[in-house]
């Protein structure tokens, strides 16, 4: 049993004088989290008859194997998170990244774009990572999170550890990240003269303008007394729909730039709006040559009533 459970890297972390207090506390926190998860599993699987539920124990050991690709017990809440990543403290305390597969992709030589999530503070980001290349070759780096560097516990790359150094650093490709969406809390008027925090969904990566990073991005915000959907344009203007309890405002509607009545007598006229979009209308007249019906290009009819 001890030989099998040792795969969970239950060794006390090595603390050195060169480490900062924060680094020492982080290493101890990670170690305690591993012990806590092991204790939880043990208590959950005690059997009055045999002390341990052997079937559950076999599942747990199986889930630690590098070949496992699916979660087979409640102990693991993400694919190989406990057995290979070891950052359970990050999951419970500060942040979560779902790009663990970077390590396996490097081992497989897989340089395809990678989609993943980054959750921290009060924000969820949806990212796409693209492998960076120099001279036609992918760039690499050691996997580091905060002040912690990750190492394989053996040459077979069966498990990661961040509590002690080994001869096998976890190497990954270097990725350029593009944030394609973000869900965060933003300020919104609370209707009583104050400000409250409300969820805001930011859509798209934008145009990449350094002077205005939000240019080209869409926004969806449910305020305390409103629902707003808008696009932040390259000119700095917000165009969209803003809905309140007793109103709906539409910002950025194209204005009429030209009305052409040169073909009026022939039964048509046209409207050109900002952006040079032209719409043709047909006109029906009564016996007195007065227009009584306007029909747009889509077939929608507008009646004209005369006194």
Q: Is the dihedral of CA 171, 175, 179, 181 positive or negative?
A: negative
Name residue 189's beta-bridge partners.
195
Q: What is the CA 288 to chain-centroid distance, rounded? A: 64
Exposed (0-12), middle (13-18) or buried (19+): which is 151, by Cβ within 10 Å? buried
Range from 4-8, 68-72, 177-181 that averages highest in pLDDT: 177-181
Rounded CA-CA distance 122/192 in Å is: 24
Q: Which of 185, 259, 268 minimizes the C-alpha distance to 222?
A: 185
pLDDT at 50: 55
Q: pLDDT tens for residues 126-155? A: 999 999 999 889 999 998 877 778 888 889
Q: What is the CA 69 to chain-centroid distance, rounded? A: 23
pLDDT at 83: 44
Rounded CA-CA distance 110/172 in Å is: 10
Q: pLDDT tens for residues 73-124? A: 333 333 344 444 444 445 555 677 888 889 899 999 999 999 999 988 889 9
Could you tell me if 59 and 93 are in contact, meaning their C-beta atoms sit under 8 angstroms apart? no
Pairing of strands 160-161, 148-149: unpaired
Rounded to 5 degrees, what are φ and ψ at 180?
-100, -10
Residue 202 pLDDT greater than 90, yes or no: yes
- Cut 0.75: pTM above it: no
Q: What is the CA 166 to chain-centroid distance, rounded? A: 33
Task: Mark residue 146 as left, alpha or beta (left: phi above 0; alpha: psi -120 to 50; beta: remaining).
Answer: left
Find all residues with CB under 8 Å of 86, minimum gap 6, and list them: 9, 30, 34, 150, 159, 160, 161, 162, 163
Find all residues with CB under 8 Å of 115, minimum gap 6, and list them: 126, 127, 128, 129
Q: pLDDT tens for residues 56-74? A: 555 555 444 433 333 333 3
């Amino acid at each position: 049993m001890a030989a099998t459970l040792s795969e969970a890297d239950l060794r006390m972390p090595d603390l050195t004088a060169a480490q900062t207090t924060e680094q020492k506390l982080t290493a101890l926190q990670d170690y305690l989290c591993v012990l806590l998860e092991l204790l939880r599993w043990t208590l959950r699987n005690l059997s009055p008859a045999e002390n341990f539920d052997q079937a559950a124990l076999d599942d747990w050991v199986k889930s630690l194997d590098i070949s496992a690709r699916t979660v087979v017990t409640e102990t693991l809440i993400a694919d190989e998170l406990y057995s290979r990543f070891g950052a359970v403290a990050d999951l419970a305390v500060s942040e979560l990244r779902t790009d663990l597969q970077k390590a396996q992709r490097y081992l497989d030589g897989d340089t395809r774009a990678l989609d993943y999530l980054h959750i921290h503070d009060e924000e969820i980001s949806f990212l796409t990572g693209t492998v960076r290349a120099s001279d036609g070759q992918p760039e690499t780096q050691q996997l580091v999170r905060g002040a912690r560097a990750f190492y394989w516990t053996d040459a077979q790359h069966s498990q990661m550890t961040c509590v002690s150094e080994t001869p096998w650093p976890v190497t990954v490709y270097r990725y350029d990240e593009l944030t394609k969406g973000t869900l965060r809390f933003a300020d919104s008027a609370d209707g009583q003269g104050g400000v409250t925090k409300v969820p805001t969904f930011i859509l798209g990566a934008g145009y990449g303008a350094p002077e205005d990073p939000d240019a080209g991005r869409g926004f969806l915000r449910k305020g305390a007394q409103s629902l707003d959907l808008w696009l932040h344009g390259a000119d700095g203007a917000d165009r969209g729909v803003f809905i309140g309890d007793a109103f709906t405002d539409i910002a950025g509607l194209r204005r009429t730039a030209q009305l052409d009545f040169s073909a009026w007598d022939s039964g048509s006229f046209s409207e050109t709006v900002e952006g040079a979009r032209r719409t043709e209308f047909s006109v029906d007249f009564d016996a007195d040559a007065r227009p009584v019906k306007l029909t747009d290009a889509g077939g929608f009819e507008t009646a004209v009533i005369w006194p």
